[in-house]
A and B are shown apart, each in its own frame.
Chain A
Amino acid sequence: MRFSGLRVIKEGLTGNKGWSAHWRDASPKDAYDVVIIGGGGHGLSTAYYLAKEHGITNVAVLEKGYLGGGNVGRNTTIVRANYFLPGNSEFYSHSLKLWEGLEEDLNYNVMHSQRGQIVLFHSDGQRDAAIRRGNAMRNQGDDAELLSVAQLRRMVPYLDYDQARFPIYGGLLQRRAGTARHDAVAWGYARGASDRGVDLIQNCEVTGIDVENGKVTGVQTSRGTIRTKKVAMITAGRSSQTAAMAGMRLPIESHVLQAFVTEGLKPCIDHVISFGMGHFYISQSDKGGLVFGGDLDMYASYAARGNLPLVEHVMEAGMTLMPMIGQAKVLRSWGGIMDMSPDGSPIIDKTHIDGLYLNCGWCYGGFKAVPGSGHCMAHLVATGTPHKAAARLRLDRFKTGFGLMDEEGTGAQHNLH
């Protein structure tokens, strides 16, 4: 089933009875060329690019729940490429370019909206860092503009500029950054993969990874044994449990990150805005709700909900930045499980087991990475060599110390990210 303007009009006139399911709900076969563990954004995009770019269609995506029911459905939908360090810089740049062609590529409206992201700064030191980051972003081929306070006041007049504690000195704008409809991203990739022959298997939990003589031979699942020579572990949030089935310990600690949405309001916030002092970010969904969040709860957690101290912290930061939102009622809050790596950056790599591939450590940045992650992961699984945009996202960088990508400059230590 493909979408087109004509089709939408025809269905509108005939009671919308012609729409069919977007993907086949497949049952597992005995064997596949590639088995992907995890039917989230990254797993689905990997399956899609394996089929589309590499012609590998005898693929199963195994999801223990339902497709898109994990972190791809629990985030703040921000898409950007404002990274600084080599490794992250080219990867997120690559991913943003894929975002820009995604709707056409998938024939699916993912509501990708390049409304621009403004990162505010509040001191001379932060301004220097923003200038440096902006230069790095332009060097990687992306856009960045430094905004003065006067420019900011015209663009976003509702911020509290003149406060004594966190005065606003300016902002760094990336116009190509923005948001996308998170569920539609999962559904678009699912349909694209399914149409090309990939089996998307829901309610199928992997309970074991079979390894013989250092090589992957298959997986055990709640729906039987599946033979395969290639297994891709793409279960961010649960990576440690997945890898443990293959006897691996990972440099990952899972944390909860909370987010919030208010009641629907008339359009008032046109950009994605990040507050550099209190760590707060906000955008307005197309439905009208203000979507915002802040820091991690900062201790290991698998509860898909947070605790009140961070709720209070986020609300305080929001009110400090833009007092006008104080009347808005918060409708919902939720928590996603973050795969925190020691340097705050992702891992896409082979493992020491032949045929076993790892995609994890997305920290709080997994959503914007969905196209790039799948694209690079598919390349790695198909060819056995890293894609050039993901060449530095290696597992051994912690052991060797070479190529650590510590964007926050806090050190390669778990509890600091």
Chain B
Amino acid sequence: MQDSDTTETDGGVTVQDQPFGLPRWAVAVIPLVLLAIVLGYLFLGSPFAALATGGAALPDVTVSYTTLPDDQTVLVHVTNNGPGTVTVEQVLVDEAYWSFSMTGGDRTLGPLESSTVQIPYHWEPGWDLEVALVLSDGATIHHTIVAPATSPGVTGEVVGTLAVVGLFVGVIPVVLGMLWLPYLRSVSDRALHAVLVFAVGVLAFLGFDALVDVGEFMEAVPGAYEGPFLFALGVAGSVLVIQAVSAWQESRTEGETSRLRTAYLVAVSIGLHNLAEGLAIGTAFALGRVELGAFLVVGFLVHNVTEGPAIVGPLARGRRPGIEHFAALGLIGGAPVIAGAWIGSYAFSPTLGVFFLAIGVGAILQVVWEMADLVRGEDGLASIGTPVNAGAFLFGAVFMYVTGLFIAL
């Protein structure tokens, strides 16, 4: 209905008169223009100059990592995460001025700019190397290369070797663990719930483990990248994305497939966790720490066998899915180790590490939620907190702790 006294309608909404008779678009734009003016004033007018202490911002340069392609070259990968430009004027190696060059043409780094400092220096394997960058204002950025050893170059052989390592660390143990499925299908509900809660214990441990790793990387993340924020973003992002995918799946499927869906979710979260494991292995090799890499391989192998039953646990009831699903679950859970190892050995950065680990933690949180639903059952009546379940949870965590010792030793 149209009333000639009031204004016209626009899609059923009553349109108010705009002040001063301005067109609607102008009223929408005006606040934006005013905001731009205020921002411009803040930037150009420096109205808060009186608050300045007179001290310039300290240069903030991070050494992300170092590579040693051969025994007479040291590559120091640096990022300027301060607000101003910095210039690397001199380089000290073991407290002596040394010749060097930098990628990118000049020695000046703008905000967030990264570069590689190339130092021709004949280093001794195993003898710690202290590198310091001297900036134009005399500030020094120190970095110690502990027990230097040649970093492997990018060769087909190394790529292949890392793939095989990933297969052994990720895919094989996960698939081995999945072979418990026929046994799981024969046990009682109580026992099965215990197995599922055991898997939750495993995941909880992995989540905690990821937090510890994040703590280690966090220090090396260039300040401007806001490591803690990046971590929170990764966790929240992965929880929300997986939850959304899961809800969308649920709306399309009935109860039977929800078990398979949960299995896939467990596989995805374990896969993300295993990506981080791959990063650790790849980084160890990239840093030339081959012995450490070998220990990680053995440790992770034993450790990852427990991830198999966690993935297939949800499938212990109901119709057994086709073999192709098991192949997919095994690959999703285990193969990311290979990808992680490649990334870790060639393109590792602490920033990337924090982000991957955050995604893993988010996935774990979401899966734990799903598993709890599964244990509660369709009717939501079964208790989670039974003594058996509590014991199984602890057993899962302790089991991971014990197998984790293989890695630490």
Task: Please say whether chains A and B are actual partners in one complex.
Answer: no
